[in-house]
Amino acid sequence: MSDPQAPPRGEFEFVRRLGRLLAPGQPGVRQPRARAGVPFGDDMCVVAPDQPELLWTVDMLMDGVDFDSRVHTWRAIGRKALAVNLSDCAAMAVEPVSALCAVALANTLTMEDALDLLRGAQECGQSFHCPIVGGDTNSWDAPTVVSVSVAARCEAGRTPVRRDGARPGDRIWLTGPVGGSLLGRHMTFEPRIGTALAIARRLAPHALIDISDGLAVDLGRILEASDCGGTISAAALDAAVHPDAVRMADQDGRPARTHALEDGEDFELIVVLAADAPDGECAALGLLPLGQIISDAGLWLEERPGQRTPIPIRGWEHFR
């Protein structure tokens, strides 16, 4: 149990305070100010207000937290460092343009290790037309840190897909099964840029986010930003459990559903579409149905129509 006298901690509270620090809202308005139409704290942000189609983002990966250099190759680590940013591009349905890569290399690395790291990042970027164009090279007596920034453009005539457009009655979809990514997919996932662009072109999505911290947490972000709640159908959830989640459940005894709801780094997208989005189109894009947006706050598991139990919004949180 947390000590009420202890100083506040937690990444989520920190980001809320950051929002008030960096982008204070109007008096009486809970949300921090949006910049050129993209609210603070979404997956990407706008570089300059007079050019709202150009967005950027940054993700920092640390050895022992986001990868393990005793297990993963430097090439795979570099790939992931780029790919997590491309997943943010997918989460806004925008096309990546170029990347910067800054590193603090552990002094134990050889130059070939360091070049492999950059090779892995560059190969991943190039396969999405997103070359690395610059960066910063450092070394130190501590574990390796890789920070990649990616710039991206929204297609002409569209706007980036935000988190805050979900409306009661909308349906919730996934781009693929989730859970158990730690068995390997957290290093090898494919950023869903192609699917995201197709969704944006054909289905006018109301909200999008990628699953980095866990399905429950990231869906919770859509619900909070959109000021509504959501139900997940138990049958749909079971159909969206990844085989890796079942394998992990066998290993650690926690239910596969819990892995599907709480495991981070799936990097599938949560897609919120109008209720009348054509099922055939959704199926053609490989979308899996998951649930529904409702007006009541909170996230709920629906075992059968009308019978709801609350889902704890739990997942990976830094700075606890």
Closer of 142 and 239 to a second copy (Cβ):
142
The answer to whether 129 contacts a second copy (rule: CB under 8 A) is no
Amino acid found at 115 = L
Closer of 91 and 256 to a second copy (Cβ):
91
Closer of 101 and 228 to a second copy (Cβ):
101
Q: Which of 89, 92, 94, 104 contacts a second copy by CB under 8 A?
A: 104
Taking the complex as a whole, the smallest distance from the CB of residue 288 to a second copy amounts, in Å, to 28
Taking the complex as a whole, the smallest distance from the CB of residue 293 to a second copy amounts, in Å, to 26
The answer to whether 56 contacts a second copy (rule: CB under 8 A) is yes
DSSP-derived pairing of the beta strands 288-294 and 229-233? antiparallel
| CA nearest to 78, candidates 222, 184, 188 | 188
Taking the complex as a whole, the smallest distance from the CB of residue 108 to a second copy amounts, in Å, to 11
The answer to whether 26 contacts a second copy (rule: CB under 8 A) is no
Taking the complex as a whole, the smallest distance from the CB of residue 76 to a second copy amounts, in Å, to 17
The answer to whether 48 contacts a second copy (rule: CB under 8 A) is yes
Give the residue carrying structure tokens 């000590």: 3
Radius of gyration of the chain (CA): 20
The answer to whether 251 contacts a second copy (rule: CB under 8 A) is no
What mask, x for binding a second copy by CB under 8 A, covers residues 147 to 186? x-x-x-x---------------------------------
The answer to whether 135 contacts a second copy (rule: CB under 8 A) is yes
Stretch that binds a second copy, among 74-82, 141-149, 255-263, 301-309 (CB under 8 A): 141-149
Q: Which of 77, 93, 94, 145 contacts a second copy by CB under 8 A?
A: 145
Taking the complex as a whole, the smallest distance from the CB of residue 269 to a second copy amounts, in Å, to 19
User: Residues in the site for a second copy, rule: CB under 8 A?
Assistant: 7-9, 11, 13-15, 17-18, 21-23, 35, 40-41, 44-48, 54, 56-60, 62, 64-65, 97-98, 100-105, 107, 110-112, 114-115, 118-119, 122, 131-143, 145, 147, 149, 151, 153, 318-320
